[in-house]
Structure 1
């Protein structure tokens, strides 16, 4: 009785002879604050090697009894090693017990993908203070274009609702950029909120903080002490 021929191994499972566990796919290790740039570079590198499906959720693992399973398992571990090679040791150590590159990808996204507000603020601050100084026009253009490109990547939206939120967030960023450094701690807390609060809410938070400071300054020491003591 004739038997069916074994199913062909998908091309994404195959490794090139030059592929090795010591390979680093991108320049610059992931440190956390550079996650968007790292993720974009890693996506390109994995796609070039036909291995992006191991992290983007489009690949379904084969049945363990399948003839393709050993090759899939080997390639999976290779992709996982490549990912860990491209992450700073302080972060990679916390990922060592993951056995699936997709799990590492999701873990990193959950940690760093929502921290864009602080980076957007840093980019806008850099843009507002950037000057040509002694650089050539070409060097100055390269500097500002790099900031524009990263900012555009972080703020890329196509949905009308998202675009409206982006306009509202822009008001928040502009307001925070002009604040005195005495509000630096509170500004950091606001930037850590996801999503960013509305400009009216940000104003309310800062106004209340300012009023509390004024009250503390205007309250005589004896009265302040009396208010702090229980009746």
Structure 2
């Protein structure tokens, strides 16, 4: 991963983490005596301030300013100036979430794709069974981040078939050169064997060597 991109991801993750700490844990570090019984969580769930004539409006303003101040204090100057227009905790939190909430997941997804693309038996020093298990773990973790359930049923079915074939290709491409003849045999078979059929063939060959 390019260093500027990694630096940006770390910066975004740090911003979100600091704001999270500021809202939920700042009472342990900084006094917040002015806060009412309303918790920061309750304030975050309030999309709009109470009406000006509402008796709790004055305390709401105190709570909002106190928590907002803690969140701003945890930010770097360049980040702080981006969010000056946010005058309530809910609006600031919503903006931060939209901008940074997926930074960690995106970084992990990118790393998984890199690991899969670079994976091979020889580079990892694994047996066929171990190499298959390594790829399987990467695929399963990716599936947790990129859920097919978010797609319409027909699209999810087509995507699952495409992924199954892609996984077979990735497994065969990463095998040691000693399995070249079996790899070509699997590629030339029509219809192409499933991932598990291809694995069974290669694994059996390795065990009998």
TM-score by length of 2: 0.40
Normalized per residue, the structure richer in helix is 2
